[in-house]
Amino acid sequence: MILFRYKFEKGGNFTENFKKLDLKKQEEIISVAFTEFANNGYKNTSTTEIAKKSCIGKGTLFFYFNTKNDLYNYLIDYGISYLKTNFIDKISGQKQDFIERCKQISKLKLIAYTEKPYILNFFAKIYTDKDKQNISKNLHKRLDELVELMPKILYQNIDTESFRSDLDKETIMKLIKWCSDGYQAELILNLQRVEMSDMLSKNDTTAWQDYDKFLKNLKKIFYK
C-alpha cells in the first residue's frame, strides 16, 4: 500500500527555510511541537509555548511554518514517514509463525517508542480525541490507510499449522494478541518510570529476554 508524501497546498514549499537549519535544531523544534500537541491536542496547543520551549522566537517559528495548522500537518507527515521507515517497512512479509510475527511487531514498536515516544503519543492523541478537522484531506487519507494496514500486517501470510487443534485458529490468534498487547502495555508503563533508552537498549537484552520467555509460555499454551 502506497503512503503518499504530503504536499503543502498553501504558501509553496515554505518548509525549505526549516530544512536549512542544522538537524539537531530541527529535531529540537519537532520534538517540542510533537510533545505539545500530544499533551494538549490541537485546539489547546500554544505556538508561543512551542517557540519558547524550542528557544526561538514565535516569529521565527512562523518563518519556518506559515501557520499552526501547517506545522501540525507537517508533524503528521513527518510521523507517518517515520513509522513507515522504522516500523512498517521492517516487518517481514514472508510466511511466518503468528507468535514470531507478534514478537517482531512488538519489538519494532517498542524500539520506535524508545527512540521517539512523542510521535506515538502524538498519533494516540489524534485518535483518542477523534479530531481530524485540522488535517488535510491527503493526510487524512494516509492516516486511514495506516490504520487499515496494521491488522493486515499482523494477520496476513501466517503459518497456523502449529496451533493446537481443539480451538479455532481465529480464537487462538485473538487470545495471543490480547496477551501480547497486555504485556506490551505493562512494559511501556514500567518503562515510563525509568530511562527507556537504558532498559530497551540494544545492548541490554534483559527486557527482550523476559519478553521471549513470555512468548515461549504462550506457545506452550496455544501450540501443539
Give per-residue pLDDT as tens, 92-135. 777 889 999 988 888 888 888 888 989 999 998 988 877 677 88
Q: Which helix (H) or strand (E) holds 205?
A: none
Class of domain 75-222: mainly alpha
Q: Is the dihedral of CA 118, 4, 101, 222 positive or negative?
A: positive
* pTM for this entry: 0.80
Distance CA 84, CA 202 (A): 21
Q: What is the mean pLDDT of the chain?
A: 83
For residue range 130-185, what is the model confidence (pLDDT) as tens digits? Answer: 767 788 888 988 888 888 888 888 888 899 999 999 999 999 999 999 998 888 77
Residue 12 pLDDT grade (very low, low, confident, very high; cuts 50, 70, 90): very low
